[in-house]
Structure 1
């Protein structure tokens, strides 16, 4: 019996994410929460002939409490989408406040749940979440994840002509660092199968993985950002996490974590000088069982990319922690 929760379930990511979770046999209960339209989304999804019982809540009548109570896994795509000309950092002031409030609810009503943060900017919203959970005395680094799977999914897709895989997801491409622009570092040198990327194609391929979201923003011509692919990525990570929690072995997926609280994280922290970093993580019954260090095998090009990533992440992390402790008054 697994209860999944989607916070921000009526939005562009939340609706397709909820659909994927409802269609999965891994979940017995699905609770949806948003500030508008959630009962309608839940009613629509409830007609799907899959096992999960579904409910939808609004803020009124203890909606957040009813949504979160008994949750095993909470996925948070809540927030506003990125618009043309808007950087992920521009989203910070609005989305950081939204995430902080929702995490306060998690700390109170489901402190043992796995928490998957999708809301951008992930580089900052995960540190905010950790600080809120620490303040409530319920923080467990093994159960808090920043979902960077979309970067992995993009990398798998964009290298298909070099991996030779009919199904792109059969390739393994570690993507590490963070989840915005230059903080995203694809490790093509460590891909399986081995990739033979022409030198003249390398920079463009890296940039496409780092800034793939801009393609979608531009193609949607102001009507939104990457919602469907992000929903798929969020579902993929949630599904893998629950499979691992149920005892399936050998599941490894990159995710943005607090390094200090996860086995193997100390070595990565020493190398990067950062408290948070996305690396391949072995998942298990307790969540993040082991952080796997790919940094000792990077090539010269990747080392240069990592220098930029470290600098960007340092500021993002500090900004999140500062916000958590000094939230601006409305």
Structure 2
């Protein structure tokens, strides 16, 4: 599919706002799982080859695009006469730009996006030190081509013809990744099958994992609910303490960002079953912005998922009301900051 305009977002937030939709199916994690024997003329993960057997869970995103990838990836891969000269064939020709690519999150994010079979070109931008990152990344034998752009004078060229522009900031998807991981560990579940909606905001008590909505259905004791909720809310601090003050979460942040980028690309490519939790303009509560599960489509947000906020547990209902004052203050602070910024022509 060809697109003529770029989708721009900061990870975990989307600028467009769609209609409030009817209750939609629960989102599921994504994995590129192909039934043996599927021989693909492409690449799988970090290992590039002329033909690759994909028999296991080889992707790091969500499970619902298995059928979509099988439908688009396999037929293209089986057309041997359409292989590129090096034997590698991306699924689609999407061009992605990362702004801030030389930073602690931007570098691993760039690597993960370069691994995506949906990306054929990757533009890396930063105010300094991006040339070396691009040179290093270009040595990875995956199909996407890498270019570097430095400074404001090169920003325009970086953005030419791109389909998705990524600004790695505001990663509410990370809360979902952490919730899925911690619940799977706690309940000894297969990680790829776990999906925990996380609503609210992205700081402290404003992060509210809806453990009662966990898929597959899981029973938690009151003590487990409180322990898991607090751990998810304080997971960033857990990383800072483990690094002894030498840094904060970067790798898990990049992973979460890559997941959101992949979901956005799949939605652009016409996949009609793409859901993510994201902090967006919303009418689900009395707050003007709220993180919740959304349905992504070719034009951005197609629908909010109101069913996630119905039938909450007593603990979740109280936590939802408790987070609102803090989140409202943060929203007002953010709006005031934006209104003070000069408008460029």
TM-score, normalisation: structure 1? 0.72
Q: CA deviation at 1:198?
A: 2.1
Alignment: residue pair count: 249
Residues 226-305 of structure 1 correspond to what in structure 2 (within 5 A)? 226-259=249-282, 266=283, 268=284, 272-293=285-306, 294-305=308-319
Q: Please tell me whether Structure 1 or Structure 2 has the larger radius of gyration of its CA atoms.
A: 2
Residues 93-172 of structure 1 correspond to what in structure 2 (within 5 A)? 119=169, 122=170, 147-166=171-190, 168-172=191-195
Q: CA deviation at 1:164?
A: 3.8
**Counterpart of 1:302 in 2: which secondary structure?**
helix
CA distance in 1 between partners of 2:322 and 2:179 (Å):
19
**Counterpart of 1:28 in 2: which secondary structure?**
strand
What's 1:36 paired with?
A: 128
Does the CA-based 8 Å contact 2:193-2:216 persist in structure 1?
no
CA distance in 1 between partners of 2:242 and 2:294 (Å):
33
Does the CA-based 8 Å contact 2:200-2:323 persist in structure 1?
yes
Superposition misfits of 4+ residues, deviation over 3 angstroms: 161-164
CA distance in 2 between partners of 1:178 and 1:71 (Å):
29
Judged with a 3 Å threshold, the aligned counterparts in structure 2 of structure 1 residues 161 and 217 are, in CA distance, closer, same or farther, namely: closer
TM-score, normalisation: structure 2? 0.69
CA distance in 1 between partners of 2:332 and 2:276 (Å):
25
What's 2:154 paired with?
A: 63
Higher helix share: 1
Match of 1:5 among 79, 93, 97: 97
**Counterpart of 2:119 in 1: which secondary structure?**
coil
Given the alignment of the two structures, is residue 15 of structure 1 paired with residue 103 of structure 2, yes or no? no
CA distance in 2 between partners of 1:161 and 1:4 (Å):
33
CA distance in 1 between partners of 2:112 and 2:227 (Å):
32
CA distance in 2 between partners of 1:7 and 1:221 (Å):
28
What's 1:308 paired with?
A: 322
CA distance in 2 between partners of 1:200 and 1:190 (Å):
17
Given the alignment of the two structures, is residue 196 of structure 1 paired with residue 208 of structure 2, yes or no? no
Q: CA deviation at 1:68?
A: 1.7
Match of 1:74 among 162, 165, 171: 165
Unpaired runs of at least 5, structure 2 = 1-92
**Counterpart of 2:273 in 1: which secondary structure?**
coil
CA distance in 2 between partners of 1:161 and 1:42 (Å):
36
